[in-house]
């Protein structure tokens, strides 16, 4: 499972915050907004992996 990461970046003299998951990222001007988004993203990714694991472990019965 990929980790959600928060990175501080400087662009044109401004400090911005990037939330990354794999190759994708979203940039925020406020650290608090980046942290809130990262927390929600982490929960969602964790939930999706649990759902996927539950489907994989369920034993389908043939008709």
Q: 1-48, pLDDT tens digit by residue?
A: 689 999 999 999 999 999 999 999 999 999 999 999 999 999 999 999
Break the chain into its structural domains and give their ranges: 4-54
CA atoms 40, 42, 48, 50: torsion sign: negative
C-beta of residue 33 within 8 angstroms of C-beta of residue 41: no
- With b meaning 16 or more CB within 10 Å and e meaning fewer, what string describes 17-49? bbbbbeeeeeebeeeeebeebbeeeeeeeeeee
Model confidence at 53, pLDDT cuts 50, 70, 90, reads confident
The token pair at 24 is 């994708």
Residue 2 in contact with residue 15, Cβ under 8 Å? Answer: no
């Amino acid at each position: 499972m990929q980790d959600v990461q928060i990175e501080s970046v400087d662009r044109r003299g401004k400090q911005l915050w990037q939330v990354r998951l794999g190759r994708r990222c979203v940039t925020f001007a406020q650290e608090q907004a980046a942290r809130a988004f990262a927390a929600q993203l982490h929960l969602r990714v964790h939930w999706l992996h649990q759902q996927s694991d539950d489907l994989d472990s369920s034993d389908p019965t043939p008709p």
